[in-house]
């Protein structure tokens, strides 16, 4: 197992992690920003207002992007399993 293989494997792992997590994190961040702007404009400083919309949007994002995320993770796992002989030998 060479250093190049390890670096490439790590690069693919980080890319897959970012691609899979970005839809959910991005939706949560956008709704958080919108609610923060709303709270600033109305001067309502209640911390529990952000909780319910973020949970709802995160759940919807998981429902919408879940199959795509699962297919990306499955493809990465398949790539890892196929490359096991390169790791051992």
Q: Give the pLDDT mean for 63-83.
A: 95
Contacts of 57 (CB under 8 A, 6+ apart): 27, 28, 31
Confidence of residue 89 (pLDDT cuts 50, 70, 90): low
The pTM (predicted TM-score) of the whole model is 0.77
- Asked whether the predicted pLDDT for residue 7 surpasses 80, the reply is yes
Contacts of 61 (CB under 8 A, 6+ apart): 23, 24, 27, 28
Q: Answer whether 20's CB lies under 8 Å from 72's CB.
A: yes
Q: Answer whether 32's CB lies under 8 Å from 54's CB.
A: yes
């Amino acid at each position: 197992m060479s250093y190049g293989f390890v670096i490439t494997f790590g690069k693919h792992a980080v890319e897959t992690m970012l691609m899979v997590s970005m839809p959910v994190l991005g939706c949560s961040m956008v709704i958080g920003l919108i609610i923060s702007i709303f709270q600033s404009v109305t001067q309502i400083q209640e911390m529990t207002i952000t909780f319910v919309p973020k949970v709802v949007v995160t759940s919807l994002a998981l429902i919408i992007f879940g199959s795509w995320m699962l297919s990306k993770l499955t493809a990465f796992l398949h790539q890892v399993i196929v490359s096991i002989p390169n790791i051992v030998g």
